[in-house]
Every structure is written in structure tokens, then in C-alpha cells.
Amino acid sequence: MNEILKKIQKIGIVPVVVLESAKDAVPLAKALIEGGLPCAEVTFRTAAARDSIKAISEAYPDMLIGAGTVLTTDQVDQAVEAGASFIVSPGLNPSIVKYCTEKDIPIVPGATNPSDIEVAISFGLDVVKFFPAEASGGLNMIKALAGPYVGMKFMPTGGINENNLKSYLDFPKIVACGGSWMVSPELIKMGKFDEIRTLTNKAMMQ
């Protein structure tokens, strides 16, 4: 497994962040760090993604910042230029995976079925995002997929929260869980960074 993914594995949780305004990026990163979670996946679902990644990586150079919901190679370039050290996508887009692997940029594409996992393997990947996790069969499905694909590890995301986090993390083929339950867009919009810190800390205590 790549060094960045090993760091993600040590941390165990990847908060999936949607930032409407880059001005919230640094206070959010501070709350995550203070909650014990020096990692974030900033999604390209908003126009603020690139500037948010840049602001966080400048303020906290040691924080592990990735870009999520990456759908184009142009977004890969923007993310990496801004300071992202890994790329996440909801599905498996071969042209994006190829672009990243050729440039040695760690990428975790979404895969929830055998065919996508085999495409990921053909690119030399050993970790995929299992998304949307709960809707795609959850832990049972991951266990079923882990049977034949012995070298594959999973980062489930989608429908994970403080109630089911531990059951996922207890399965050894799971590198980390992604989720937005401690960084919901509503909390960010309302500037409730204390609550984000508390929820983060609670998640990290599991």
C-alpha cells in the first residue's frame, strides 16, 4: 500500500467535507485537528474546493488533505497544485485512474462490484472506495468481495456514522471509513466548529 494510504489507515477515518466558502476551510481543519483527526477529503462539489485545499495545506502543512468527488483530470491538477496529496472519486473512471497512476498521485476510486475491482487491480491499485457503502450492501458486501480479491482493501463511505463505524473498522480489509457525520455541511455553514470538534473527538475515541 502506498505511503499516503498507510497514513490514512493509521488515522482510520476520512471526513468528507463540502465547503461552500473557502473562509470556513481553516477553522474546519483546526476543529478536525483538535478533535484528533488530522485528515480531510475536500470535495469538488463546490467552487470553493481548490481554494479550501490551498488554505488548509498552507495553514496546516502536516495535515493529510485529499480531494474528493474528483470527476475530471483538470480537477486532479487543481487539487494537487493546491496541495492535495490524494484523490478520491465516487466511481471508477479509467481515464482519471490512469492519469493519476502515471503521475504517481494516490487515487482511491469508487468500486462496489467485481468488475470495477478488477479494473482497479489492472491499474495496480490495492485500495478502492466502497461507495455508497450502506446502500451497496455494507459490510456483508465488502466481506463477500474480499473473498476472491485477497489483495484488495476498502475505504467504505456513504451511510457510515458513529453507530456503525466500529463494525466496519473491525474488519481487517478496511483501511479507513469515510463519512460526513462529524462535518455536515449544516454545521459548517452555521460555523459550529466546537460541535465539529466534539463529534470528531467522539468518532476518534471508537
Residues taking part in catalysis: 41, 129
Q: Minimum CB separation from ligand 3PG for residue 172, in Å? A: 22
Cell of residue 130, nine digits: 466502497
Q: Minimum CB separation from ligand 3PG for residue 163, in Å? A: 12
**CA 143, 37, 56 angle in degrees (round to 5)?**
120
Nearer to ligand 3PG, 71 or 119 (CB): 71
Exposed, middle or buried by CB within 10 Å (0-12, 13-18, 19+), for 81? exposed
Cell match 470495477: residue? 116
Nearer to ligand 3PG, 55 or 177 (CB): 177
Nearer to ligand 3PG, 131 or 193 (CB): 131
Q: Minimum CB separation from ligand 3PG for residue 148, in Å? A: 25
Cα separation, 185 vs 18, whole angstroms: 6
Q: Minimum CB separation from ligand 3PG for residue 150, in Å? A: 26
Nearer to ligand 3PG, 9 or 59 (CB): 9
User: Cβ(103)–Cβ(79) under 8 Å?
Assistant: no
Chain residues binding ligand 3PG by CB under 6 A are 16, 90, 131, 157-160, 178-181
User: Cβ(121)–Cβ(149) under 8 Å?
Assistant: yes
